[in-house]
A and B are shown apart, each in its own frame.
Chain A
Amino acid sequence: AQTVTQSQPEMSVQEAETVTLSCTYDTSESDYYLFWYKQPPSRQMILVIRQEAYKQQNATENRFSVNFQKAAKSFSLKISDSQLGDAAMYFCAYDRGSTLGRLYFGRGTQLTVWP
């Protein structure tokens, strides 16, 4: 069964600093996708970054980057130069890459950004 674990219920960071959110997952698949979604107070789910398991290169989107360790089944999100608008709940999610498109989510990490 696919499970996604986020071991940090809450994290905080000072504005302009860097923070890393952890995520581990369990799967027997060799090809899959991993995602980080952001959920601000408005509750909308916004895609932050995506990683294909067959790609060794870590995905990067502006201030957001991931550290994907396939053997360790680890997928952490690094936010550089944190901004007040980054404050949100962050969910790690897994897609087994089938045609069915079911996402498995972790429990989320609430990120607070201090000015």
Chain B
Amino acid sequence: EPEVTQTPSHQVTQMGQEVILRCVPISNHLYFYWYRQILGQKVEFLVSFYNNEISEKSEIFDDQFSVERPDGSNFTLKIRSTKLEDSAMYFCASSDTEMNTEAFFGQGTRLTVV
């Protein structure tokens, strides 16, 4: 069964460092998303991406964040200068329809900023 794959599963980084979280969406999907979940809190939308550009972003997705689809398979989230409050579980998701009737989520990357 096709699945969304995220790497690494856990990343520890020092405050102020740049991190790149990687995702391989399901191959025929065209719509990509990043969500985050701070421990004990709800899952929050960060950004959606389609046709090589951002479709929508939340207020969380400030200038420190960027997304990219560098090739035909990967979808990345970059945090330029990490802060302690960026520590969270980051989920990538993809969908094959513009209506997002079912988004498939990856297993998440746990980011710990120290």
Contact = CB atoms under 8 A, between A and B. Distances in A.
A44 B102 contact: no
A52 B107 CA distance: 26
Nearest to A98: B99
Interface stretch (A19-27, A65-73, A75-83, A101-109): A101-109
Contacts, number: 68
Most buried by A among B43, B55, B89: B43
Interface residues of A, number: 24
B103 A101 contact: yes
A101 B100 contact: yes
Given A50-B101, A99-B99, A106 B42 contact: yes
B101 A99 contact: no
Interface residues of B, number: 28
B45 A102 contact: yes
A39 B6 CA distance: 16
B96 to A, nearest CB: 11
Contacts of B43: 45, 91, 93, 103, 105
Interface of B: 31, 33, 35, 41-45, 48, 55-56, 58, 89, 91, 93, 95, 98-108, 110
